[in-house]
Amino acid sequence: MSDGPPQGQKIRWDASAASRHLSDVATATLTANHIVLNFGRRLGEDRPGREQGVALQGRIALQPMTAKHLYDMLNRLVAETAASQSAPG
């Protein structure tokens, strides 16, 4: 099974069935064959030390190598964001 396109290959996304959600909570769990990402939105106030209600907006199961590629991309993007925010403007 492929975890993505070969290095340097372009991807053309068909976004006609896509939906978008703003998430302020994300978790990840490990199953026997996948890494499962959960995305959601807090319900009500955040009260430290108490259980927080979260409306699940999406769940994605990734093969481990796909999750690694996502991890690498996110690390790069977070570093770029931090660098651009600290650059004199």
Q: What is the pLDDT of residues 24-79, one digit of tens each?
A: 999 999 999 999 999 999 998 877 888 889 999 999 999 999 999 999 999 999 99
Q: pTM for the whole thing?
A: 0.73
Q: Where are the domains of the chain?
A: 25-86
What per-residue confidence (pLDDT) applies to 61? 98
Separation of alpha carbons 81 and 63, rounded Å: 27
| Percent helix / strand / coil, the chain, rounded to 5 | 25, 30, 45
Separation of alpha carbons 31 and 11, rounded Å: 28
What per-residue confidence (pLDDT) applies to 6? 61
Average pLDDT over residues 21-25: 93
Banded pLDDT at 81 (limits 50, 70, 90): very high
